[in-house]
Amino acid sequence: MMTSQDNAPTQENYARYPSLVDRVVLITGGATGIGASFVEHFVAQGARVGFLDIDTSAGLVLTDSLADSPGGPGQPPRHKPMFVTCDLTDIGALRAAVADVKAALGPIEVLVNNAANDRRHGLADITPESFDEGIAVNVRHQLFAAQAVMADMKAAGAGSIINLGSVSWMIKDRNLQVYLMSKSAVQGLTRGLAKELGAYGIRVNTLVPGWVMTDKQRRLWLNDEGRESIKRNQCIDAELLPADLARMALFLAADDSRMITSKDIVVDGGWV
């Protein structure tokens, strides 16, 4: 299989979006993996980024790595992101964290609902408690995060909500029943929000990843069988990287996509 390296978000061969400069962006689950790439790419576009995560250590490391800078030639100034430690399954804490970001950075115009946990489990091992926990981290917080930012977006007469889905339920993956159920529900949530909020100029879309090669995926689940599965199922024989998702999120957040809403945007190398 071909290999590829994650391209740095500063490289000049990728698009820049003037509409994202100084735009306030909130990202859930932004400390590691795909979420960290979202944070890095939006910061590189000159956005004012707030991100939430339960992993305090990783969140602080990422924040410290992205200091304020004037930007290079032809590049916008970069603003150090704001990190708030938050357990997104605690809706009161989520609402408080959103309020903190708004107070520090201003009205929120972009929401990226990224946080999730694809923990493996057998069907017989699911309990009511583990079920509720999976729903809470994988889909429930998306609804309440959208609820928490919609007043800002309504007042602005514009906004973009990007809900993270997954192809896993489309390809009938195994040992992920609660995750699959949650991620299929995300697409229903997107459609309902898009219809309700569209009258205010707010766009809502589902960004649907394939198997993204984060450090976690490589450490826990990528093996020879997995590599063969990618080669067999993807149309493009290359690793899908966090940056590939981040660049699509930039487009969906920018004014360039102003008439795209209620859509499933699949980035999976052609798996489905």
DSSP state for residue 17 in the 8-state scheme: -
Spatial separation of the C-alpha atoms in residues 177 and 131, rounded to whole Å: 9
Q: Which of 159, 184, 181, 182 is nearest to 254 (CA)?
A: 159
Helix (H) or strand (E) holding 195: helix 177-197
Spatial separation of the C-alpha atoms in residues 49 and 185, rounded to whole Å: 27
Spatial separation of the C-alpha atoms in residues 207 and 93, rounded to whole Å: 25
Q: Take residue 2 and report the two structure tokens written for it.
A: 């071909």
- Is 76 in a helix, a strand, or coil? coil
Q: Take residue 120 and report the two structure tokens written for it.
A: 């493996």
Angle at the Cα of 78 from the Cα atoms of 208 and 60, rounded to 5 degrees = 70
Spatial separation of the C-alpha atoms in residues 191 and 185, rounded to whole Å: 10
Q: Is 14 a catalytic residue?
A: no
CA–chain centroid gap for 199, Å, is 24
User: Which of 14, 17, 179, 200 is labelled catalytic?
Assistant: 179
Catalytic sites, residue numbers: 179
